[in-house]
């Protein structure tokens, strides 16, 4: 009899403890799996998985439920089992990102877009910087394939292979190869924005700092400049043209060629530089020569890097949508990995904007200047 009367009490206490344990927050062990997280939230594993994987099907889940899942995952330090996921999807859940380097400027902004999308999509990535060494440009794809990456994202890096066993998206590479999608800027539009701005300010003798030979974008940008200059009736004169030669992301990049040009001639009223870093260096060389920006020489850069707005004078520049290009590249690469059977464009063209700041102004009345 005693056993019968005790049994319900025991069952009740076990049930109460179980209920109490269910409602209590799980310990922050850092090893909470999907099942434990779903149990804590009293949701199905499928629902939790859809939210955490940012699946298109998650749009049907109420927003407050999605937020509750994300908050709990963060609070309980949920970490997905990438090994199990890779086995299930037959993918490594990683990609290779190959770039010349990751210094401040162009690559910082592009990578911020790339990283944001890959992290949000729960993809790991390897970055490899080749510093324009041809052997590394050729070797890195092989090394990354040995690490079982699902695809390549090339940043301003020439495509050196004719066929890749994994999907490839290239930003600013331009070379048309079957199976590769190029994300490029409309360089003719960029040249039209910059040169029209100077033309409307009365500038007719414009100097140019071209990009280095080894950077893929250089020739495409220069071709756009020549075509637009012809349309506007502007002469591009060899004696007013210099070219970047060193591989550097310091303002020294533009300081040295601008200093050399000024020793030869000062017979120009405006300068269009290959990128913002070079423009900042060129402005310093112009000022060191006793000239003022923009009163004596107007200067336009290219890219709209973070520091362009804070330099003195603040830099007028052609803005490449660098973060957007990085995000678009990462998004398209993951799309190609997930759905390789679909057709994809060989090229996606992004549009530039002109950001007008303090470094440009009306051409001075006296154009001709001696050294």
CATH architecture of 187-320: 3-Layer(aba) Sandwich (3.40)
Sheet holding 180-185, edge to edge: 124-129, 94-99, 152-155, 168-171, 180-185, 347-350
Nearest to 76 by CA among 17, 123, 24, 16: 24
- What is the structure's pLDDT at 233? 97
Burial 358-369 (b: 16+ CB within 10 A, else e): ebbbebbeeeee
- Tens-place pLDDT, residues 267-287: 999 999 999 999 999 999 999
What's the pLDDT band for 15 if we cut at 50, 70, 90? very low
Delimiting residues of CATH 1.10.260 domain(s) in the chain: 17-80
- What is the structure's pLDDT at 314? 98
The label of the residue with tokens 């060629």 reads 257
Distances (CA, A) of 3 to 6, 8, 9: 5, 9, 10
Q: How far is CA 261 from the centre of its chain?
A: 33
Residues 6 or more apart in contact with residue 218 via CB below 8 angstroms = 210, 211, 212, 274
Pick the CATH number of 92-186+322-351 from 3.40.50.2300, 3.90.950.20, 1.10.3720.10, 3.20.130.10: 3.40.50.2300
The whole-model pTM stands at 0.76
Phi, psi of 319 (to 5 degrees): -85, 120
- What is the structure's pLDDT at 174? 85
> How many Cβ atoms sit within 10 Å of the Cβ of residue 267?
15
Helix 187-200 × helix 217-232 angle, to 10°: 40
- Third-level CATH fold of 17-80: 434 Repressor (Amino-terminal Domain) (1.10.260)
Stretch 170-198: mean pLDDT, rounded? 94
Least confident of 177-191, 246-260, 261-275: 246-260
Flag whether pLDDT at 218 surpasses 50: yes
Flag whether pLDDT at 20 surpasses 70: no
Delimiting residues of CATH 3.40.50.2300 domain(s) in the chain: 92-186+322-351, 187-320
Burial 98-115 (b: 16+ CB within 10 A, else e): bbbbbeebbbbbbbebbb
- Tens-place pLDDT, residues 108-118: 999 999 999 99
Stretch 245-273: mean pLDDT, rounded? 91
- What is the structure's pLDDT at 89? 54
What's the pLDDT band for 162 if we cut at 50, 70, 90? confident
What's the pLDDT band for 367 if we cut at 50, 70, 90? low
Burial 283-292 (b: 16+ CB within 10 A, else e): bbbbeebeee
- What is the structure's pLDDT at 148? 87
- What is the structure's pLDDT at 18? 36
What's the pLDDT band for 12 if we cut at 50, 70, 90? very low
Q: Where are the beta strands (DSSP E) in 42-93?
A: none
- Tens-place pLDDT, residues 60-117: 899 999 999 989 988 888 866 654 554 455 678 899 999 998 877 788 999 999 999 9
- What is the structure's pLDDT at 90? 61
Let me know the angle formed at the C-alpha of 29 by 26 and 33, rounded to the nearest 5 degrees.
Answer: 75
Q: Is 334 exposed, middle or buried (0-12, 13-18, 19+ CB in 10 A)?
A: buried
Least confident of 2-11, 94-103, 189-198, 260-269: 2-11
- What is the structure's pLDDT at 291? 98
Flag whether pLDDT at 125 surpasses 70: yes
Interatomic CA distance for residues 179 and 340, integer angstroms = 10
Cβ proximity of 303 and 106 under 8 Å: yes
**Mode of pairing for the β-strands spanning 316-319 and 353-355:** antiparallel
Least confident of 18-22, 254-258, 273-277: 18-22
């Amino acid at each position: 009899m005693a056993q019968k009367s005790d049994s319900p009490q025991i069952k009740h206490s076990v049930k109460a403890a179980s209920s109490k344990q269910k409602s209590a927050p799980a310990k922050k062990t850092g090893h909470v799996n999907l099942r434990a997280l779903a149990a804590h939230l009293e949701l199905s594993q499928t629902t939790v998985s859809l939210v955490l994987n940012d699946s298109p099907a998650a749009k049907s889940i109420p927003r407050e439920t999605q937020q509750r899942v994300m908050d709990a995952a963060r609070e309980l330090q949920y970490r997905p089992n990438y090994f199990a996921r890779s086995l299930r999807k037959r993918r490594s859940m990683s990609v290779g990102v190959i770039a010349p380097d990751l210094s401040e400027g162009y690559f910082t902004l592009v990578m911020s877009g790339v990283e944001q999308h890959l992290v949000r999509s729960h993809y790991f990535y390897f970055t490899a910087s080749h510093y324009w060494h041809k052997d590394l440009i050729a070797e890195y794809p092989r090394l990354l394939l040995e690490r079982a990456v699902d695809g390549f994202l090339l940043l301003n890096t020439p495509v050196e292979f004719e066929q890749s066993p994994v999907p490839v998206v290239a930003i600013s590479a331009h070379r048309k190869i079957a199976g590769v999608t190029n994300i490029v800027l409309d360089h003719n539009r960029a040249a039209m924005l910059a040169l029209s701005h100077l033309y409307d300010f009365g500038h007719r003798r414009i100097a140019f700092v071209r990009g280095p030979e080894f950077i893929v974008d250089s020739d495409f940008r220069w071709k756009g400049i020549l075509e637009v200059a012809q349309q506007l009736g502007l002469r591009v004169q060899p004696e007013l043209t210099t070219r970047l030669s060193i591989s550097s992301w310091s303002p020294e990049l533009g300081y040295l060629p601008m200093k050399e040009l000024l020793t030869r001639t000062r017979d120009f009223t405006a300068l269009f530089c290959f990128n913002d870093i070079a423009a900042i260096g060129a402005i310093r060389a112009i000022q060191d020569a006793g000239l003022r920006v923009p009163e004596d020489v107007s200067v336009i850069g290219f890219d709209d890097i973070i520091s362009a707005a804070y330099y003195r004078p603040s830099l007028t520049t052609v803005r490449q949508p660098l973060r957007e290009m990085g995000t678009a590249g990462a998004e398209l690469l993951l799309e190609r990995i997930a759905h390789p059977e679909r057709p994809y464009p060989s090229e996606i063209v992004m549009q530039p904007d002109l950001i007008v700041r303090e470094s440009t102004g009306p051409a001075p009345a006296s154009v001709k200047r001696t050294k």
